[in-house]
Amino acid sequence: MISQEAKKKENTYKFKTCNLKTFKKNISEFKEDKFANTFISKANLQNQWKYCVGLYDQDELMGAIITTFSINEPKIANLQLLHTFYKHRKKGVGKKLCQFSLNQAIKNKCWYYRVSSEKVSVKFYEKIGFKMLGEQKSKCQLSMFRISCNTFSDCNYDINDPIIKKALYRKGKGGCVTIF
């Protein structure tokens, strides 16, 4: 149950674009923020800062997400990167960022939503409703669903769907070596 004070605090939360400088400024020395450096490296390597959205409390960045949308049909939203800064963990920041991402996928008329999660993050994704469908060669776990609603738990994770099946059994990068 969320207290009235917590609800008032959440009313100050805003989604805004996030750039490298702002992201870097919020990294702490805590080991839980170590992934933030990986986030930076991947976003730089793949030139994805233009897709980065942060959740802010006033002017303080609490976390950020990068989601890309394919241009080919059927359109697929791919959650590329997600990080909640250590001091903002356990506040629902990651969940809010993921929900924002799904809402953007719906607005962009995507048919599918995909995330490849490192093992350390699988419990988080499952807690907010994702179903992991398989393990990739990289040891990451793949979740993919047909967007049929606006909640992760109620969408269609049917591995017999031709697009999901193709992603799961894809040879090479991104495909799964084990199907759950």
pLDDT digits (tens, 9 = 90+) for 83-108: 999 999 999 999 999 999 999 999 99
pLDDT digits (tens, 9 = 90+) for 140-165: 999 999 999 999 999 999 999 999 99
Tokens standing for residue 56:
């802010």
pLDDT at 9: 61
pLDDT at 4: 54
pLDDT at 12: 84
CB neighbour list of residue 7: distance below 8 Å, 6 or more residues apart: none
Average pLDDT in the 63-79 region? Answer: 97
Give the chain's end-to-end CA distance (angstroms, integer).
33
Task: Assess contact for 129 and 92: CB atoms under 8 A.
Answer: no
Structure pTM? 0.92
